[in-house]
Chains A and B, each alone.
Chain A
């Protein structure tokens, strides 16, 4: 009998530490469903980041390796080089990937390291209590930009995904969102493709997922979804920025 609903096998059935209205849980589930559907649960090693998802090694029911801040792509490289026949993914936030870990993600992508990266962008540091991230929007208030992010002093919201797409190494680079059911379905499709390409040995794949942080944005969960759509989408347009399958 075909399973049409239920809890993914690749996700441990437990409550998470994530705040109400945070979309990490949705994204975890999408990844777990993809791992189930590709039947690679026993062949997968996940690399956890530092940040809100630091405990994701508790949630994914696959082998997990907890990295230091920003170094997940380096740790993933070490694992993948030892087990080239296994599936290796990193799960990283915007502080992790777009600030402290820029060198590691750029070079893993440039090497065309055959791994999959799921990049969660919620425009803020969540775990440490709502500091300004490199992805924080212009004028956005955080605990370290109390007057709103000032571009002149703090630079511009960084578009990592567009940056990585100009490299020759990556096979697939896309940005998706999870602010409504339609986008969630599209996000899953992109994540599945990013895993499938690794299985086919096509090289580095990254999916940026726009995510919410109502707690540190200081708004309600429903307003969080609205804020993502209205404020983040203009700065971070949803698109596929690189796909080697389309030019083949």
Chain B
């Protein structure tokens, strides 16, 4: 293993991707993820990779579509409005069953929005990325180290499922510097073989990368095959982290950087005698719904905390299924919730113990 380095989140994405065997990056500038393409433009030539700044996010995601079809491990990154533009290509990538990794360092919206941190793209990432019946596998890191680990993992998951994987961070995570340790550089010869890729029909039948399905029954069959993959993800890929849940009477559910702020609020509340714990979803799709359902038998109530007006809270409610009350606390538009605000909300919910 390598030694620990102090690095910025965005740059860590780039290095982790290269370690995972990614040699192709197609992107377009947008704040607050600009250090990712900058890092890749510097680093990829050192490992005989290709960096290309596309003419638009639309073009970038379609370049990813081409490179993924050609058999490469390929990355693109953007921030919220740019992800909306990449949606077209992502739908085609999912439809054609291609592995690719997309990083969204979220900023606030809607529209042009602002450049401060946000978690307002939860719905987009987990439910409504683009047209058609498909899902992304969505990973939500909360530390720079986890950003490195999940970016690295994302390439393996993309290959395993032949499906696009999104790493969903926010502007805070992208901009913060923390110590990080990288996994080993993957041997490119050891990466999964892709016999379906378009690399020239030498001594074999031609390969076709495609998402067109003009016969309804055939497309239904294809979509059910996709659904079977998403069901398999639900079985095999759910990841979450518990914090002080053992005796918790209030469970906070939060992901990404918000979960870290919630952790500080929990520590303070614990000192005051409040039995509060945290369930931190690491995969947003598949969602840790079973863990939350199980917690509904233990705790008195739930609190979802997000940097949005309330998106993931809907999944908490679905998992809790009416068994216990679910409250929400959020800040939006680029405002980051403070430890004090979350602590005050805990006190308001739990009263005088």
Contacts and interface: CB of A to CB of B under 8 A. Distances in A.
Interface of A: 41-45, 47, 54-55, 57, 60-68, 71, 74-83, 86, 103-104, 106-107
A181 to B, nearest CB: 30
B266 to A, nearest CB: 45
A161 B52 CA distance: 25
Contacts of A61: 201, 206
B207 interface: yes
Contacts of B7: none
Interface residues of B, number: 39
Contacts of A44: 200
A77 B88 CA distance: 17
A63 B195 CA distance: 12
B203 interface: yes
B85 to A, nearest CB: 11
A114 to B, nearest CB: 13
A82 B100 CA distance: 14
A143 to B, nearest CB: 21
Nearest to B51: A81
Given A57-B208, A78-B69, A62 B62 contact: no
A79 B206 contact: no
A128 to B, nearest CB: 14
Main secondary structure of the interface of A (DSSP, over half): helix
B206 to A, nearest CB: 5
A41 B208 CA distance: 14
Contacts of B207: 63-64
Interface string B55-80: 11011101111111111101000000
Contact of B64 (A64, A65, A78): A78
Nearest to A57: B208
Given A68-B89, A82-B24, A75 B62 contact: yes
Max count, chain B CB within 10 A of own CB: residue among A43, A67, A107: A67
B19 to A, nearest CB: 19
B201 A42 contact: yes
A81 B52 contact: yes
B353 interface: no
Given A62-B206, A77-B63, 7 more contacts: A43-B202, A64-B198, A78-B24, A103-B55, A103-B59, A104-B58, A107-B55
Contact of B70 (A42, A54, A57, A78): A78
Nearest to B49: A81
Nearest to B214: A55
Contacts of B26: 78
Given A82-B71, A86-B200, A75 B211 contact: no
B210 interface: yes
Contacts of A79: 66-67, 69-70, 198
Interface centre among A42, A45, A60, A82 (most CB of B within 10 A): A82
